Structure 1
Amino acid sequence: MNIVASTVTLSVADPAASGRFFTTHLGYREVLADEESLALGRDDAAPDILLRQRDLELPPGRGPVGVLVSFAVTDVAAEYARLRREGANITAPLHHEPWGEQLLELTDPNGVVVQLAEWIPPAGS
């Protein structure tokens, strides 16, 4: 198998609000929009994002609850400083895990958690 592209589809109550979050804070651009969905893209290895209007008739729990979108980035400390300046909703501040990952989390207006992480080898490894 040779995967040449990837898309993460998120069913949310307000696609436009999530779209503003991804374009403002995460460098995505709007590629396509209609009444019920919004397609976002970037020019790097990040997956495309499709924000789809959630069917409000579905039972609770079928939305973004429990969804975590994780991006491996370079210089996560600089991203943290930038996101703080922009007033992004940072829900887990920058921290270093014992296994060598430095990460932060932010949450969009629909409850989608986005994690930015960078591998920093533990001292002595």
Structure 2
Amino acid sequence: MTITASTVSLTVEDVAASRTFFTEHLGYREQAAADGFASLTRDDAAVDIVLLRRGIDVLPPEQRDQRARGLILAFTLDAGLEAEEKRLRSEGVDITMPLREEPWGERLFQVTDPNGVVVQFVEWTAADHA
């Protein structure tokens, strides 16, 4: 098996709100869209994102009423964590977990999109933690 790309599919109430959040604040661009669906991508190593409206009939019946919960979409940055937090804050993004450093060498902060999708930004303080 050879994996050529990675995509996370998130079921949300309001596809347009999440699409706007990811494109305006996190550098994603829309690759494809239809009613209740949006596919987002970036030119770097970030995972692609598919947004599906909760209840959409392309999902199997047992998945239609679920929504993205209890997951953290984490992005590891090579540098500039403080600058990213300041930029997002200046754009009016709610920083739902302020910048902090864990004892194991992880520096991180979190934001939450309008549908409750938690996005975490991470930077490692030592190469041996990466």
TM-score normalised by structure 1 residue count = 0.89
Change (3 A) 1:81 1:37: same
Give the unaligned 5+ runs of structure 1.
none
The Cα shift of 1:43 comes to 0.4
The size of the alignment, in residue pairs, is: 121
Task: Let me know the Cα RMSD of the aligned residues.
Answer: 2.0
Partner of 1:66: 70
The Cα shift of 1:47 comes to 1.0
CA contact (8 A) 1:73 1:117 kept: yes
Whether 1:23 and 2:15 are equivalent positions in the alignment is no
CA contact (8 A) 1:7 1:49 kept: yes
Partner of 2:81: 76
* CA deviation vs aligned residue, 1:56-91 (integer Å, no higher than 9, x gap): 8979x8211212100101221111111111111210
Letter in 2 for 1:52: L
Report percent identity of matched pairs. Answer: 51
C-alpha separation in 2, matches of 1:18 and 1:42: 15
CA contact (8 A) 1:106 1:114 kept: yes
The Cα shift of 1:19 comes to 0.4
TM-score normalised by structure 2 residue count = 0.86
Give the unaligned 5+ runs of structure 2.
none
Letter in 1 for 2:34: D
